[in-house]
């Protein structure tokens, strides 16, 4: 048996006025996802446990079969795993976004999607000016980077995901709690390093948003997770351009399938992900394909782009996978968003997400399309998202 999971990140949504009060999944032309739902099982799943913030870190951990309430320690340690950053027992990892601010409010959580090449120069300067024995910055991808901090005293801080607080005054969203003073200091001092940097001078001359502050969030310590092959007796691999997703995969013992041309944005090479997924299934028992583009479009408030991203996932990934099913003795496919990301608010939000399970051993035939409203009519609901994996492997 071969298994494939396709995650169009943040594809689930609420009705959007610009789409005639349809959700992007309802507005999109997605014949392959609809076929999977119609011929297979259409259901709902709660990927984010109550009292936890809705985000890909928690949701993806649920989807791959691990209870976030037991294993989750923060987003940044998961990304550290992908970057090969070893965390000591006293180390705290923080996600370090390069953001844009007007000096008063957070105006852009991603600095106009700054490139990794530009960001690398800025991170280098941050290390030279703000780094030290207890503070180290690590280059990630695009606007997403990492800071490792070894505090002298235990931390008990709360931080705000920047994509959830765009437009908010900085003073109201700074890190807070025990030990937060150092974090606020680093954010404020980053302006001294970044405002006049030549990278930002060039970006301003090109009409682009400057990366003129860092934003620290997603804090946590090194997690310890049982290997997936030991837990489920299945060998897995992941295709993703996102450090977080690859980090989770590494922590559970999955391999990373490197695909040229994938970016984590709307310009990613969808078709390459589809081709590499089919090829990887010849080696691995389970392949997870993650596509960040729908989530990025929603954060940008771009309904049209979100619909187009969903359609590309359908045409270039889900369709080819379904067409390749006869090449394998048995292939089972599952398609689901990890969480809801609302176009009209540009934020993650809590709620059940739809899933379609299709292929070998799936006997249900829902007869309905792959949308939030049709999935809500299903009697099948996984209240605990981390139980879904076992059901997918053994329905």
Q: What is the pLDDT of residues 230-267, one digit of tens each?
A: 999 999 999 999 999 999 999 999 999 999 999 999 99
pLDDT at residue 395 above 90? no
Q: What is the pLDDT of residue 374?
A: 98
pLDDT at residue 188 above 90? yes
pLDDT at residue 182 above 90? yes
Q: Read off the pLDDT of each residue in 27-49 and give the average, rounded to a whole number.
A: 98
- What is d(CA 154, CA 321) in angstroms, rounded to the nearest whole number? 48
The pLDDT mean for the chain works out to 97
Joined tokens for residue 385? 């998202």
Q: What is the pLDDT of residue 221?
A: 94
Q: Given 3.40.50.720, 3.40.720.10, 3.30.530.20, 3.30.110.30, which CATH number is that of 2-72+224-393? A: 3.40.720.10
Question: Strands (DSSP E) along the chain, which ranges?
Answer: 2-8, 41-45, 92-101, 106-108, 135-141, 144-149, 156-158, 176-178, 213-220, 236-239, 255-256, 286-291, 331-335, 340-342, 347-349, 353-359, 381-382
Residue whose C-alpha is closest to residue 317's, from 348, 275, 362: 275
Joined tokens for residue 307? 């619909």
DSSP 132: B
- What is d(CA 46, CA 284) in angstroms, rounded to the nearest whole number? 27
* pLDDT tens-digit series, residues 144-179: 999 999 998 889 999 999 999 999 999 999 999 999
Domain regions of the chain by residue span: 2-72+224-393, 82-220
Q: What is the pLDDT of residue 40?
A: 98
The residue to which tokens 């960001």 are assigned: 119
pLDDT at residue 134 above 80? yes
- What is d(CA 196, CA 216) in angstroms, rounded to the nearest whole number? 21
Q: Is the pTM of this model over 0.85?
A: yes
Percent of the chain whose pLDDT exceeds 70 = 100
- What is d(CA 134, CA 148) in angstroms, rounded to the nearest whole number? 8
* pLDDT tens-digit series, residues 57-97: 999 999 999 999 999 999 999 999 999 999 998 999 999 99
> Quick check: 218 and 74 in contact, CB under 8 A?
yes
pLDDT at residue 120 above 80? yes
DSSP 153: S
* pLDDT tens-digit series, residues 104-115: 999 999 999 999
- What is d(CA 308, CA 30) in angstroms, rounded to the nearest whole number? 10
Q: What is the pLDDT of residue 27?
A: 98
Distances (CA, A) of 48 to 234, 338, 353, 357: 24, 9, 10, 20
């Amino acid at each position: 048996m071969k298994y494939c999971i396709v995650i169009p990140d943040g594809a689930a949504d609420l009705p959007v006025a610009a789409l005639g009060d349809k959700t992007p999944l309802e507005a999109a032309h997605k014949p392959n996802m609809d076929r999977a739902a119609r011929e297979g099982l259409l259901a709902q799943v709660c990927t984010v446990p109550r009292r936890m913030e809705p985000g890909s870190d928690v949701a993806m951990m649920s989807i791959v079969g691990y209870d976030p309430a037991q294993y989750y320690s923060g987003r940044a340690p998961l990304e550290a795993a992908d970057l090969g950053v070893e965390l000591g027992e006293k180390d705290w990892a923080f996600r370090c976004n390069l953001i844009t601010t007007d000096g008063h409010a957070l105006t852009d959580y991603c600095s106009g999607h700054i490139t990794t090449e530009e960001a690398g120069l800025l991170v280098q300067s941050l290390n030279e000016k703000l780094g030290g024995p207890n503070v180290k910055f690590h280059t990630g991808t695009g606007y997403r980077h990492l800071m490792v901090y070894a505090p002298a005293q235990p931390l008990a801080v709360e931080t705000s995901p920047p994509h959830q607080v765009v437009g908010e005054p900085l003073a109201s969203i700074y890190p807070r709690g025990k030990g937060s003073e150092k974090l606020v200091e680093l954010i404020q001092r980053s302006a001294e390093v970044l405002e006049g940097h030549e990278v930002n001078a060039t970006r301003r001359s090109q009409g682009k948003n400057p990366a003129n502050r860092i934003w620290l969030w997603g804090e946590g310590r090194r997690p310890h997770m049982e290997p997936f092959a030991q837990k489920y007796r299945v060998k897995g691999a992941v295709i993703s351009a996102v450090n977080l997703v690859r980090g989770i995969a590494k922590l559970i013992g999955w391999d990373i399938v490197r695909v040229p041309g994938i970016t984590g944005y709307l310009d990613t090479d969808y078709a390459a992900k589809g081709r590499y997924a089919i090829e990887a299934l010849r080696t691995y028992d389970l392949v997870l394909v993650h596509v960040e583009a729908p989530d990025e479009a929603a954060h940008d408030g771009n309904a049209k782009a979100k619909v187009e991203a969903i359609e590309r996932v359908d045409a270039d990934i889900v369709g080819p996978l379904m067409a390749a099913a006869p090449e394998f003795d048995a292939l089972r496919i599952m398609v689901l968003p990890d969480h809801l990301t609302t176009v009209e608010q540009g934020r993650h939000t809590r709620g059940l997400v739809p899933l379609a399970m299709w292929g070998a051993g799936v006997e249900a035939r829902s007869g309905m399309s792959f949308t939030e409203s049709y999935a809500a009519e299903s009697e099948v609901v996984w209240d605990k998202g981390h139980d879904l994996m076992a059901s997918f492997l053994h329905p």
